[in-house]
């Protein structure tokens, strides 16, 4: 089977060639011998274009009202959406009030989205106070999009509450092709899946954006990742991004845009594209972006009435480097402790005994992620051997778990399959234990456990205990590992 096709996920099949342009040496990396299929793409011009531009350059050019931009240019950018949450919101609000005045009004109450999601279901008084600060500010400013929660004992009693900001932004129609979306969270880059520029910013920048609707940005150079080949049935987008991060390292895309194209990318649904873009920051990326297409437009049909105009990289656009992957040869991967680039084949870690499995977060807590995990449990017909925690990203995901039938299950829902497999009952939607949180956070690692997780980071202390060991994996691999009590290649259950 495929296990014989790739013996190692390292760069053994990575070939480099160098080409010269403008007397500068540029690296083009080839990770397959397969020529990429070129699909016809429309172009958008911001005026009289002197040279070709990438997607990211075009979006920033339009947002800064410039005809031409090049990597390294510093420009004032008009922001379409600013998002903040309960962890960084209070600090951003404090800076806004200090610099603009206690009675100052925000630049546009309909372009600010405030989503409590991180430290929600806790008795920690400081965490609860943060949400109170958001509520007071939104009342003062009459913020249109504040997804509040007041009753912590029953999240369903809060119809406005959504859950994880990056998933909620997409579900509520705040992500649109060609726009600039900023957020006080490093994983704001998730929204790049919609063909927009999305990146995380700090509290100081956010405070300035609150007052002006502008931010000063340096235009990043672009790395292009071409992924072709039929996606094997045992792989998910998490495997793809772990492969890329393992290839270029956690510093390989520092302050660079990561553009994802190719037939494999075009075959991914929106939630899988979100997973791909979500972890570009784990490679140091400024932003990740996927060209908008019919999949994007269909997803947005019932989510937004705001007009948008997608942009696409010009054929003559200049990329800093290009990487090509034949995805048909890729195997299920994990990132071993304690770095997202500590890549290994899942089957190489089969002797690693684990204590728990965590399925959740902006990376791995979406509807498609739970459907994938349910598929593995259903195929096995067995019960989990370690505690398996399920944390839906949003209220909608939670509802999907209890209502959507799993394909091939005879009408069973994810919740039914999870119960039969002996998993924990799906928890209240939030960021949960992805980043540790207060000690009473559901599924937090308060002891030095070994965990297979669908989250995005495995640094020491990330999920709680500083001696905990986290293996990052896809929902397929996480579910398979839950069934054996060891890190497990999902092909053991997916025929």
Helix crossing, 89-100 with 125-141: angle to 10°?
A: 50
pTM comes to 0.90
Average pLDDT rounded to a whole number, residues 367-396 = 98
Whether 19 has a pLDDT exceeding 90, the answer reads no
State how far the Cα of 61 lies from the Cα of 77, in Å rounded to an integer: 8
Lowest mean pLDDT among 33-47, 429-443, 461-475: 33-47
What pLDDT is stored for residue 51 in this prediction? Answer: 86
214-218, long-range: CB within 8 Å, 24+ apart, which pairs?
214/76, 214/77, 214/78, 214/79, 215/76, 215/77, 215/79, 215/182, 216/74, 216/75, 216/76, 216/77, 217/60, 217/74, 217/75, 217/77, 218/72, 218/73, 218/74, 218/255
With contact defined as beta carbons under 8 Å apart, do 299 and 367 qualify?
A: no
Domain boundaries for CATH 3.30.499.10 within the chain: 74-215, 218-327, 333-490
Q: Which two tokens stand for residue 121?
A: 């279901």
Q: Which of 127, 53, 61, 125 is nearest to 89 (CA)?
A: 127
CA atoms within 13 A on the CB side of 41: 22
Tell me the pLDDT tens digit for each residue of 61-100. 999 999 999 999 999 999 999 999 999 999 999 999 999 9
- Residue-averaged pLDDT of the chain: 92
Whether 31 has a pLDDT exceeding 90, the answer reads no
Helix crossing, 367-380 with 395-403: angle to 10°?
A: 30
Extended strands (E) in 172-276? 180-183, 197-200, 214-218, 222-228, 257-261
What pLDDT is stored for residue 448 in this prediction? Answer: 97
| Percent of the chain residues past pLDDT 90, beyond the cut | 89
What pLDDT is stored for residue 495 in this prediction? Answer: 79
State how far the Cα of 78 lies from the Cα of 60, in Å rounded to an integer: 9
Domain 74-215 CATH superfamily: Aconitase, domain 3 (3.30.499.10)
49 or 460: which leads in pLDDT:
460
Tell me the pLDDT tens digit for each residue of 315-325. 999 999 999 99
What pLDDT is stored for residue 34 in this prediction? Answer: 36
Fold classification of 333-490 is Aconitase; domain 3 (3.30.499)
Fold classification of 218-327 is Aconitase; domain 3 (3.30.499)
């Amino acid at each position: 089977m495929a296990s014989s096709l790739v013996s190692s996920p390292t760069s053994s099949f990575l070939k480099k060639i160098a080409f010269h342009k403008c007397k500068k040496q540029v690296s083009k990396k080839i990770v397959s011998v397969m020529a990429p299929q070129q699909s016809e793409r429309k172009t958008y011009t911001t005026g009289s274009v002197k040279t070709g531009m990438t997607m990211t350059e075009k979006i920033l050019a339009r947002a800064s009202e410039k005809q031409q931009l090049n990597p390294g240019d510093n420009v004032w950018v008009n922001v379409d959406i600013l998002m903040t949450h309960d962890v960084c919101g209070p600090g951003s609000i404090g800076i806004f009030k200090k610099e603009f005045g206690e009675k100052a009004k925000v630049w546009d109450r309909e372009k600010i989205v405030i989503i409590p999601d991180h430290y929600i279901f806790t008795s920690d008084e400081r965490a609860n106070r943060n949400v109170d600060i958001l509520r007071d500010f939104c009342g003062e400013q009459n913020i249109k999009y504040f997804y509040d929660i007041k009753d912590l004992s029953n999240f369903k009693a809060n119809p406005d509450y959504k859950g994880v900001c990056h998933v909620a932004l997409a579900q509520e129609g705040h992500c649109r092709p060609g726009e600039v979306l900023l957020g006080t969270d490093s994983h704001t880059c998730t929204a790049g899946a919609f063909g927009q520029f999305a990146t995380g910013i700090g509290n100081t920048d956010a405070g300035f954006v609150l007052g002006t609707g502008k931010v000063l940005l340096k235009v990043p150079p672009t790395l292009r990742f071409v992924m072709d080949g039929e996606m094997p049935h045992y792989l998910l987008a998490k495997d793809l991004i772990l492969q890329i991060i393992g290839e270029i390292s956690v510093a390989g895309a520092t302050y660079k845009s990561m553009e994802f194209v190719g037939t494999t990318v075009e075959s991914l649904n929106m939630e899988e594209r979100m997973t791909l873009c979500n972890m570009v920051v784990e490679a140091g990326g400024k932003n990740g972006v996927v060209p908008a297409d019919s999949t994007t437009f269909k997803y947005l049909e019932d989510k937004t009435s705001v007009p948008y105009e997608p942009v696409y990289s010009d054929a003559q656009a200049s990329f800093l480097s290009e990487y090509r992957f034949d995805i048909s040869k890729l195997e299920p991967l994990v990132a071993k402790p304690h770095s997202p680039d500590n890549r290994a084949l899942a089957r190489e870690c089969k002797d690693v005994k684990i204590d728990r499995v965590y399925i959740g977060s902006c990376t791995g807590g979406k509807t498609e992620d739970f459907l994938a995990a349910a598929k593995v449990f259903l195929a096995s017909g067995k019960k989990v051997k370690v505690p398996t925690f399920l944390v839906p990203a949003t209220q909608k995901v939670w509802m999907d778990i209890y209502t959507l039938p799993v394909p091939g299950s005879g009408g069973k829902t994810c919740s039914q399959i999870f119960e039969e497999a002996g998993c924990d009952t799906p928890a209240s939607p939030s960021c949960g234990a992805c980043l540790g949180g207060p000690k009473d956070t559901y599924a937090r690692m308060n002891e030095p456990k070994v965990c297979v997780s669908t989250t995005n980071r495995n640094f020491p202390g990330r999920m709680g205990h500083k001696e905990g060991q986290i293996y990052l994996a896809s929902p397929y691999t996480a579910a398979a590992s839950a069934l054996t009590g060891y890190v497990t290649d999902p092909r053991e259950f997916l025929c």
